[in-house]
Amino acid sequence: MIIAAEQLSPIFGAKISGFDLADDLTDETFEAIRQIWSKAGGLLVFHGQKLDIEAHIAFSRRFGPLFGEPGEASLQETVSRYIHPEHPEIYRVSNIVENGQPKGRKGAGTYWHSDVSFRETPAQASILYAHEVPEVGGDTLFADMSGAYEALSEAFKALLTPLYAWHDFEVAARRQYARPAVIEADMDGANRARHPVVRTNPQSERKSLFVNPGFTSHLYGFNADESATLLGQLYGHAARPEFSHRHRWRPGDVVIWDNRSVMHYAVCDYGEAPRYLERTTVISDRPL
Ligand code: OGA
Ligand code: MN
């Protein structure tokens, strides 16, 4: 089977057209999709999909175990109210309120981040499926952290390579969640992890920067000013337009990103216009 893919930008991202993810995919076809995704730096877009929840989960499961799946880790308690009640693998992102209950997490990820980077085993693929999106607004930005790493000088790469950074859900909790919404048990250490600043994606074998302003608290071994300066430099560099892609959603879009080499940012500019998306999150190996 020949799968036609188009580049989204010279640096990263691909789009596959004329493909139905709800079909039973052979192992060969799935592998071909995963290759395209990996070669495209871990960002892949599909339009016009009609996936029921079971199909979304079944497709996602081929990438690896999922957060929330029976027997696997769940996401942090604070977001448990946004998990689909019958499908614990599905995390819901939405500003819609139904019968006084939020249909999903409002304003999820409105800062540069890599999903779940505060866990020892953070996220690999996130697979986000758009049900309802504003006519205009509510785009998601993606940054290519492999491209960003590779563009650094050899001297700077050498400086970064031996470093570690701490990631902590509390960074987002302090800044992004109204304090009463946060489940205090999420602060007890299970959502805190130390990872290498430069990690290698075992699939693409490319190195990428693995720090993000959403969850990284500080560089290990540095004092606060040093850490803030160096991280600020990396964030400014990685967020340059050359390394980024802005996805404008349409209903039926499925976007798959690789949190090992991509960070993302939800643009919250659409007011009350209803927006509803469902996400599955694949668990990664420990970053190396
Ligand atoms: C996410 C996220 C982006 C968006 O689902 O992980 O950050 O645009 N969402 O909703
Ligand atoms: Mn996210």
User: Which residues, including other chains, have CB under 8 Å from residue 134's CB and lie 6 or more apart?
Assistant: 270, 273, 274, 275
**Which of 168, 255, 260 shows the shortest CA–CA distance to 213?**
168
pLDDT in tens, 182-237: 888 888 888 999 999 999 999 999 999 999 999 999 999 999 999 999 999 999 99
Q: Cα of 223 to ligand 1 centre, how many Å?
A: 32
Kindly state the average pLDDT of the residues 176-183. 74
108 Cβ inside 6 Å of ligand 1: yes
pLDDT at 178: 67
Q: How far apart are CA 79 and CA 196, in angstroms?
A: 26
pLDDT at 175: 82
Out of 91, 105, 126, 278, give the residue to mutate to test ligand 1, the one with the largest number of ligand atoms within 8 Å of its CB: 126
Report whether 126 contacts 259 (CB < 8 A): yes
DSSP H or E run through 139: none
Q: Cα of 30 to ligand 2 centre, how many Å?
A: 24
At residue 138, does pLDDT exceed 90?
A: yes
109 Cβ inside 6 Å of ligand 1: yes
Q: How far apart are CA 8 and CA 12, in angstroms?
A: 7
What is the number of alpha carbons within 13 Å of residue 170 lying toward its C-beta? 13
Report whether 153 contacts 146 (CB < 8 A): no
pLDDT band at 135 (very low <50, low <70, confident <90, very high): very high
Q: From the CA of 126, give the closest atom in ligand 1.
A: 6
264 catalytic residue (yes or no): yes
At residue 180, does pLDDT exceed 80?
A: no
Helix, strand, or coil here: 50?
A: coil
Q: From the CA of 249, give the closest atom in ligand 1.
A: 8
75 Cβ inside 6 Å of ligand 1: no
115 catalytic residue (yes or no): yes
Residue type, 62: R
**Which of 275, 5, 36, 235 shows the shortest CA–CA distance to 140?**
275
Domains and CATH numbers, the chain: 5-283 (3.60.130.10)
103 Cβ inside 6 Å of ligand 1: no
pLDDT at 176: 75
Q: Which of 131, 192, 195, 264 is catalytic?
A: 264
pLDDT in tens, 21-75: 999 899 999 999 999 999 999 999 999 999 999 999 999 999 999 999 999 999 9
Helix, strand, or coil here: 167?
A: strand
Helix, strand, or coil here: 46?
A: strand
Q: From the CA of 267, give the closest atom in ligand 1.
A: 8
pLDDT at 116: 98
pLDDT at 207: 98
At residue 177, does pLDDT exceed 80?
A: no
pLDDT at 211: 98
Average confidence score pLDDT of the chain: 95
